[in-house]
Amino acid sequence: MRHGLPHAFCALIVAVSCLCCACRPPEVTPEQQEQVSLRQLVLDWVVLDQWPAGIEQPFPDGQMLSRYTTLIVQDDGSAANAALKLPGRSVLILDLDDIRKRADSEGDFIYLRFERVEIQQDKATVRLSMMWALSRKTLESGRSPLGCAGAEVRFARVDTGWRAERILSTWRP
């Protein structure tokens, strides 16, 4: 019995350490920081209506996100997503399977998907879509929203970060 207490104490320390590590976002490398910067610029444009330098129009149907206090971004395997932040809102990164499960349990909602974030030296292209996560109930009813909206933007590196050169395309239902 004397030996059980130290082992239990060690197990508790390990468990607490694991919890602390799980709460901490993964470290972002300098290369990934470029991805974070670009993704954050576009996310702020979509959700907060803060137009990046060089963009002179709102994101298509971005106002549809104004009612959401938690924004869901589809996990595309990039550590850059974990660093995304929105003042006064939560950003939740989920894989497609978890998005579907959430729609089934909570009802239909809009989520964001970075379809392309490509950096080539001093140029970058970001493509983001607002997608509908439809519950099984909605799918079985035969009713569904019209579709998704999105945009693809070309950026150029400037001294202070990134500036939009032009919007390559936008779409909406």
Q: Write the CATH number for 125.
A: 3.10.450
In a domain, 22, yes or no: no
State both tokens at 170: 């936008």
Identify the three-state secondary structure at position 23: helix
Structural domains counted in the chain: 1
pLDDT tens figures, 56-82: 999 999 999 989 999 999 999 999 999
Q: What is the pLDDT of residue 5?
A: 47
Q: Is 10 within a domain? A: no
User: For position 142, what pLDDT does the model report?
Assistant: 87
In the three-class reduction of DSSP (H, G, I as helix; E, B as strand; rest coil), residue 52 is classed as coil
List the domain range (segments joined by +) for residue 156.
Answer: 31-171
Nearest CA to 119 among 43, 36, 29?
A: 36
Q: How far apart are CA 150 and CA 131, in angstroms?
A: 9
Considering the domain boundaries, does residue 11 fall inside one? no
Is 58 a member of any domain?
yes
| Torsion (CA) 109, 63, 92, 169 in degrees, nearest 10 | 100
Alpha-carbon gap, residue 34 to 28, rounded angstroms: 10
Q: Is residue 105 part of a domain?
A: yes
For residue 111, the model assigns a pLDDT of: 97
**pLDDT value, residue 143:** 83
* Residue 165, domain member (yes or no): yes
Task: Report pLDDT for 26.
Answer: 57
Domain assignment present for residue 150? The answer is yes
Ranges of the chain whose pLDDT falls below 70: 1-26
Tell me, what's the pLDDT at 30?
Answer: 77
Residue 6: inside a domain, yes or no?
no
